[in-house]
Amino acid sequence: MTDLLASTPSLVQERRLVTEIPGPRSRELMERRAATVSSGVGTTLPVFVERAGGGVIRDVDGNSLIDLGAGIAVVNVGNSAPKVVRAVQEQVATFTHTCFMVTPYEGYVAVCEELARVTPGDHEKRTALFNSGSEAVENAVKIARHATGRQAIVVFDHAYHGRTNLTMALTAKNMPYKHRFGPFASEVYRVPMSYPFRDAPGMSGAEAADRAIRQIETQIGAANVAAVLIEPIQGEGGFVVPATGFLPAVAQWCREAGAVFIADEVQTGFCRTGDWFASDAEDVVPDLMTLAKGMAGGLPLAAVTGRAALMDAVHTGGLGGTYGGNPVACAAALASIETMREQDLAGAARAIEDTMVPRLHALGEHTPAIGDVRGRGAMIAVEIVRQGTTEPDAALTAQVARLCHAEGVVVLTAGTYGNVLRFLPPLVIGQDLLNEALDVLEAAFAAATTPVQSAG
Ligand SMILES: *Cc1c(COP(=O)(O)O)cnc(C)c1O
């Protein structure tokens, strides 16, 4: 069989600007967009994509941008990764949908087998597949409530779990996710997160866990808690990495209280943080995990994976959905996971950290606005503050992001206070491109923070 890709020239891995950003064709398309697409759907960078792969995105004006977003931590294996393309092409030509709940197919089962292998813990596991991270989180809550016969769900400050009705209730931040979209679901309780940059100096993970647990016990009651739902490293909330010991202590409390410990690894999963999952770093074994973004190379697929006794507690027919575990998405997931294994993308994520973190620390040394450098693997961020304080500086954050965009580097912002610049490169990005992106970032900080000097 001829290799379709071998005959296609691969995308040149370079940053190359041939027009201003956005260029004329992108501006035209933005006008068409405004006339037909709801303005409720936002745009980070008004540049229309023609092609993407490796560490670059090429736009319709011929500009080539460095991708430090990976479509929000989705294309961990890169856009149009060769194995994913082949697997999708074969599957799409064979059958596209039968509905797994009507007439099943092997790909769905094979994805569940893989997820049992790569997720933490060697206990008996079961999986159900869905389409989006939000849907996975909703289903994890359904399963935890059903299995425990309890109702309360504990979530954390700065949490992000999605935009559907139940997940809006679970998400912390009002604007833009929740504002005027209520009423929200009940029996959701929020407790303090471990946030080393903003907690009392020296607060340990165990102390932060005690603070959260005291609040759960006094305000909810351990016996009422169905589940504690947590992102092991918070994503939209600003790449908040809890202090060491926090996650194990919360997981331990759940075991003692008979509550389900759910790790929302929708953003942190699939080699992003330098391990298969962020829970691995402290040997935390969640009862249930929600998975999505990095799983299927860009095709929509999500999962709840967890203890067989919980997953099988639900009555037959209680879980599902028309499209959940679509065969094309399953083929993409199997090819993505194989690519992660073959190319050691967890190792690639650690190499990205080794390049980025020292350079960001060096930048922070002479940039007082950089209050914190944090993250793990290829999930790295800087938190931007007013010099000498911890007061968030969202305006400077937006300005630095805009300057990066204008120079052809796709960066995203995050954080409850909108003052976090986050970096989520595809794990296959070349080290040269990564270093060039950091050069651009340094120049952007210099331009945005250097006071104008008078001549002479
Ligand atoms: C993105 C995200 C979700 C929601 O996933 P969607 O596919 O956008 O519905 C849930 N949890 C976390 C941690 C996320 O980062």
Which residues approach ligand 1 with their CB closer than 6 A? 132-134, 137, 160-162, 231, 235-236, 264, 266-267, 292-293
Nearest ligand 1 atom to the CA of 164 is 9
Nearest ligand 1 atom to the CA of 234 is 13
In terms of Cβ atoms closer than 10 Å to its own Cβ (0-12, 13-18, 19+), residue 184 is: middle
What letter would DSSP give residue 132?
A: S
- The residues, ordered by sequence, that sit 6+ positions from 373 with a Cβ below 8 Å of its Cβ are 357, 360, 361, 364, 380, 381, 382
Evaluate if pTM is beyond 0.85: yes
Q: What is the pLDDT, as a whole number, of residue 3?
A: 47
Q: Are 326 and 68 in contact (CB under 8 A)?
A: no
Give the rounded distance of the alpha carbon of 245 from its chain centre: 22
Nearest ligand 1 atom to the CA of 302 is 7
Domain 4-67+344-449: homologous superfamily in CATH: Aspartate Aminotransferase, domain 1 (3.90.1150.10)
Q: Are 164 and 340 in contact (CB under 8 A)?
A: no
**Cα–Cα distance between 305 and 357 in angstroms, integer?**
32
**Residue position matching structure tokens 């503050």:** 385
For residue 44, the SS3 value is coil
Distance 61 CA to ligand 1 centre (A): 31
Alpha helix segments (H runs only) across 75-219: 82-94, 106-118, 133-148, 165-170, 205-219
**Residue position matching structure tokens 């059958």:** 95
DSSP code string of 203-257:
--HHHHHHHHHHHHHHHT-GGGEEEEEE-SS-TTTT---PPTTHHHHHHHHHHHH
- Each of the 456 residues of the chain gets a pLDDT tens digit; together they read 444 444 455 899 999 999 999 999 999 999 999 999 999 999 999 999 999 999 999 999 999 999 999 999 999 999 999 999 999 999 999 999 999 999 999 999 999 999 999 999 999 999 999 999 999 999 999 999 999 999 999 999 999 999 999 999 999 999 999 999 999 999 999 999 999 999 999 999 999 999 999 999 999 999 999 999 999 999 999 999 999 999 999 999 999 999 999 999 999 999 999 999 999 999 999 999 999 999 999 999 999 999 999 999 999 999 999 999 999 999 999 999 999 999 999 999 999 999 999 999 999 999 999 999 999 999 999 999 999 999 999 999 999 999 999 999 999 999 999 999 999 999 999 999 999 999 999 999 999 997 765 544
Considering the domain delimited by 83-342, tell me its CATH architecture: 3-Layer(aba) Sandwich (3.40)
Positions of CATH 3.90.1150.10 in the chain? 4-67+344-449
**Cα–Cα distance between 139 and 144 in angstroms, integer?**
9
Whether omega before 358 lies within 30 degrees of 0, making that bond cis, reads: no
φ and ψ at residue 90, rounded to 5 degrees: -65, -45
**Cα–Cα distance between 425 and 410 in angstroms, integer?**
9
For CA atoms 420, 424, 430, 431, the dihedral sign is positive
Q: What is the pLDDT, as a whole number, of residue 87?
A: 98
Side by side, the strands of the sheet bearing 288-291 are: 125-130, 302-307, 288-291, 260-264, 225-230, 152-156, 188-191
Distance 381 CA to ligand 1 centre (A): 18
Distance 202 CA to ligand 1 centre (A): 31
Q: Are 413 and 422 in contact (CB under 8 A)?
A: yes
Q: What is the pLDDT, as a whole number, of residue 7?
A: 44
φ and ψ at residue 438, rounded to 5 degrees: -70, -35
Q: What is the pLDDT, as a whole number, of residue 450?
A: 79
Instruction: Ligand 1 pocket test: pick from 131, 134, 171, 234 the residue with the most ligand atoms within 8 Å of its Cβ.
Output: 134
Nearest ligand 1 atom to the CA of 265 is 13
How open is the CA angle 193-199-200, to the nearest 5 degrees? Answer: 145
- Give 432-435 contacts, CB < 8 A, sequence gap 24+: 432/13, 433/13, 433/14, 433/15, 433/54, 433/55, 433/56, 433/66, 434/55, 434/352, 434/355, 434/356, 435/355, 435/359
Q: What is the pLDDT, as a whole number, of residue 442?
A: 98
